[in-house]
Chain A
Amino acid sequence: MSAALDFPASPLEGVARASQRSVAAGRGRTRKRVQRVLFTVAGLVVFVVSVFPVYWMVSTALLPNRKIRSVDPTFAPISPTLDNFRTVLKRDTQFPFLDALRVSLSVTTVAVAVALVIGLLAALAITRFTFLGRRGFIFLIIAIQMLPGEAMIISLFRLLDGWHLTNTVLGLSAVYVAAVLPFTIWTLRGFVAGIPVELEEAAMIDGCSRLRSFRSITLPLIGPGLVATGVFAFIQAWNEFVLALVLMNRPDHLTLPVWLRSFRQVNSGTDWGAIMAGSTLMTIPVIVFFLFVQGRMASGLVSGAVKG
C-alpha cells in the first residue's frame, strides 16, 4: 500500500535516501549484534529456569543423606551414590515402590490397549462414514473431554465401591479408559482422515474385501498415529493423580503418583533423597516417551487453528 508513496520524486532524492539507508544499515549491524547477545542470554535464562528443577531432582537423588540435610546445598553430586535408589526399591517398606510400579504399569497398559482398540473403531466410524447422529456423537465426546475429573470423584468412588472394584487394577483401568477415550478418538480421527479413502477403495476394486483392504492398506499406514496416540494416553494415565488417590488406597495398591505422596507423609522427617529417587524413576519413562512424540502435539493444534 505504502510502496507508491515511498517512490522517490526525483533521482537525486533517491540517492540521498539510499545513502541514508546504508548509514542506518551500519548502525543496524551493531545493533543486531547487541540484540543477538541479548537474545542468547535470554535463551540461556529460559533454559536454566526450565532445566534446573529437573537437574536438582536427579542431583539430590544421587547425594548421600548427610549432604542433603546440610544448610549449604551441594550443587554437583561429585561422588554420587545409589543409596537413595536402593532405599526406594527395598521391598519391606510400608508402601513398596515395586508394587506401585506394578500397579501403575498394569493399569496404564490395560487402559491404553483397550482405549486404542475401541477408539480406533470409533475414529473409523466418524471419518469413514456419514450416519445419523454423527455430529451429535462428536459433540458428545468433546463435551465429555471437558468434564472435570475432580467433579466426578465422589460418584465414581461410590460407583466402584458398590461394585467392589476399588483397589483393583480392573476398576481403575476401566475409569482410565473412559477418561482417555474421547481424546484418543479425536486424535486418531485426525490420523485416519489423513489417509485417503481412495486407497482402500482401489484395493476393494481389485477384489479385496472391505476388512482385508483395511487391514492391509489403512492399518499399516495408521501405525505411527496409533503409536503417538498410545503414548499420549500412556502419559495421561501414568501421571493421573486425583482418581487414583480416591480409588486406590491400600498400601500395596497405590499407583506411582499416589505412592510418591504417601512416601512423603509417612516419614515425618522427610527422606528427600528417597523422594527424589522415586520421582526420578517415575519421570524417566515419561520423558523418554515425550521426546518421542512432542512435535505432533503443538503442530497439530496450529495446523487446525491458523487456517481460518
Chain B
Amino acid sequence: MSGAVAARIKRRSPLPYLFLAPTFVLLVVLTGYPLVRLLVMSTQKYGRAQVFGAPPEFVGLANYRAVLTDPTFWTVLARSAVFCVVNVAITMALGMLVALLLTKLGKFMRLTVTVGLLLAWAMPALTAIVIWGWMFDTQYGVLNWLLSAAGMNMLGHSWLIQPISFFFVATVVITWQSIPFVAFTLYAGLTQVPEELIEAAELDGASAFQRFRLITYPLLRPVIMLLTMLSVIWDLRVFTQIFALQDAGGITAKTSTIGVYIYQLGVAQGRFDTGSAIAVILVVIMLAVSFVYVRQVIQEDVS
C-alpha cells in the first residue's frame, strides 16, 4: 500500500481538485444548502403563512424548547429507540443462526436457501410491505386463514388497529428483509474462520456453544459490530414500512416513529419550524450513532 502512496504522482497538481469539483458543487447545493436552510428554519417561526410570503421571524431556540418540552416528542423518540433495539436484536440473532445453518448445509440446500434469501432481500421496501399487508389482511389475508385452520379463531382479526400487533407486523416485514444481508455477510465471515481451530476445540471436548463463544465469536466480532451498527442506523430511521402500514389502516397517533413524525408535522401539517427542529435533532442523533461506523471506515482507508 505504501508503494502505491509513494506512486501517487504530481503532489501539487490541481487535477484532484478539478476531479472533485463537480461532486463538491453538487453536494454543496443539494445537501449542504438544504442542511443550512434546515438549521435556519429551525430557529424561525415558519408555518403556512410564511410559505405564502409572510417574512419569517427569528425566534432563537424557541422551537427546540417547544420540542424538548413536548411529551409527544419524547414518546416518539423512545418508541423509535425501543423498536430499533428489538428489531436489531432479532435481526442479528436470526441472521447469525441462518449464517451458521448455511455452513452446515449441503451444496444443493445451501444454494436453495441462498436464492430464497436473495429474493427477500431484493424486494423494494414498499412492495414488501404491500405484500405482507395483503397477507395480514383482515378479511382475505392468508395468515388469518392459516391461523384459523390451525385452530385459532382469527378470521376477521385486524392486525393494524393495536400498537403492539401493528409493530409486530412491522417487525416481521423489516426483519424478513434485513436478515438476508446480515446472514450473507456473517456467512462470508464464517467461511474465513480456520477449520483447524474449530476441530481442535471439538477434540478438546468443547461443546458447540463453547466453540461459538470462544472461537467463532471473537474472530467475527469486527463484522458483528459493523453489522449491528449498520442495522441500528437503518432501523432507527425506519420510515417507509411504518408510513405504509399507517396508510393501510393502522392508527397514526400511537405508532409514529421519528421519521414519520417529522413528515406529519413538517409536510402534512405545514409546521415547518418545529418539524425542522426535530429534523435537526434527528440528524445529530444519527451522526452520533454512526460515529463509530464512520471512524471504522476511515481507519480502513488508512490501513
Contacts and interface: CB of A to CB of B under 8 A. Distances in A.
Interface of A: 2, 6, 35-36, 39-40, 42-44, 46-51, 53-54, 56-57, 60, 68-73, 118-119, 121-122, 124-126, 128-131, 134-135, 137-144, 146-159, 174-175, 177-178, 181-182, 185-186, 193, 196-198, 201, 235, 238-239, 241-242, 246, 257, 260-261, 264-265, 272, 275-276, 279, 282-283, 286-287, 290-291, 294, 297-299, 301-302, 304-308
Contacts of B75: none
Interface in B9-26: 9-11, 13, 15-17, 19-20, 22-23, 26
B267 interface: yes
The 4 closest A-B CB pairs, nearest first, are A150-B259, A50-B116, A178-B30, A290-B122
8 contacts: A44-B109, A46-B98, A53-B123, A73-B145, A122-B23, A138-B298, A146-B294, A151-B262
Nearest to B265: A154
Interface of B: 4-5, 7-11, 13, 15-17, 19-20, 22-23, 26-27, 30-31, 33-35, 37-38, 41, 51, 98, 101, 104-106, 109-110, 112-113, 115-128, 130-132, 134-135, 137, 139-140, 142, 145, 155, 176, 180-181, 184-185, 187-189, 192, 203-204, 219-220, 222-223, 226, 233, 237, 239-240, 243-244, 247-248, 258-260, 262-263, 266-267, 272, 275-276, 279-280, 282-283, 286-287, 290, 293-294, 296-298, 300-301, 303
A135 B119 CA distance: 38
Contacts of B51: 158
A247 B107 CA distance: 47
Given A40-B109, A43-B112, A154-B38, A50 B30 contact: no
B282 A151 contact: yes
B188 A299 contact: yes
Which label, helix, strand, loop or mixed, suits the secondary structure of the B interface? helix
A96 B137 CA distance: 25
Given A57-B127, A154-B275, A257-B126, A301 B105 contact: no
Contacts of A122: 19-20, 22-23
A2 B204 contact: yes
Q: Which of B30, B117, B226, B280 has the most CB of A within 10 A?
A: B30
B113 A302 contact: no
Given A121-B19, A178-B31, 9 more contacts: A40-B105, A50-B180, A72-B145, A73-B140, A142-B298, A151-B286, A177-B30, A235-B122, A239-B125
Contacts of B119: 50-51, 54, 287
B300 A304 contact: yes
Contacts of B23: 118-119, 121-122, 141, 181, 185
A230 B248 CA distance: 33
Contact of A287 (B17, B30, B122, B280): B122
Contact of A152 (B35, B127, B240): B35
A71 B16 CA distance: 65
B280 A151 contact: yes
A154 B123 contact: no
Contact of A53 (B8, B17, B105, B128): B128
A290 B27 CA distance: 28
A155 B122 contact: no
Contacts of B135: 53, 56
A149 B109 CA distance: 39
Q: Which of B120, B122, B279 has the most CB of A within 10 A?
A: B122
A197 B176 contact: no
Contacts of B258: 150
A22 to B, nearest CB: 14
B130 A283 contact: no
A138 B23 CA distance: 12
B176 A49 contact: yes
A71 B145 contact: yes
B120 A239 contact: no
